[in-house]
Amino acid sequence: MRLRFLPAAREELDAAALYLDGRAPGLGADLVGDVERIGELICEFPQIGRSLDSVHRSVPLQRFSFSLAYRISADEVIIVAVAHNRRRPGYWRLRK
C-alpha cells in the first residue's frame, strides 16, 4: 500500500512542524520523522489503528501528542488528519 495525505492533513503537519521548530530547532523534523515511521507502519499493517467509525481509524504518534486519522482504500492509506490529541476531537470527519 502507498501512503497519501489529504491536503488539509499535510497543512496540519507542516504547521505543527513549523510551530515546534520555533520552540526548539529540530523538533519539527522529529515530528515529521515520527509521522513517517507511523505512516510506514500503517501501510504495512492497515488495521493496526483504533477504529473511530465505520471508515476511519487512528494511531497515536510515539513521541508527540498527535494522532494520524486515516482511512483505507483499495491500494492506499489516506491520512485524513494529523490531529492534536487534546483539540477539537473529530473536526476532520467530513474531509473527503
Copy the grid coordinates of residue 85: 490529541
Each domain of the chain, given as residue ranges in start order, spans 2-84
pLDDT for residue 58: 96
Assigned fold of 2-84: YaeB-like fold (3.30.2310)
pLDDT for residue 25: 95
Question: What are the C-alpha distances in Å from 10 to residues 54, 63, 72?
Answer: 23, 19, 17
pTM of the shown model: 0.90
Q: pLDDT tens digits, residue range 8-41?
A: 999 999 999 999 999 999 999 999 999 999 999 9
Whether the CB-CB separation of 58 and 48 falls below 8 Å is answered with no
Q: pLDDT tens digits, residue range 77-92?
A: 999 999 998 887 777 7
pLDDT for residue 93: 73
> What's at 21, amino acid-wise?
D
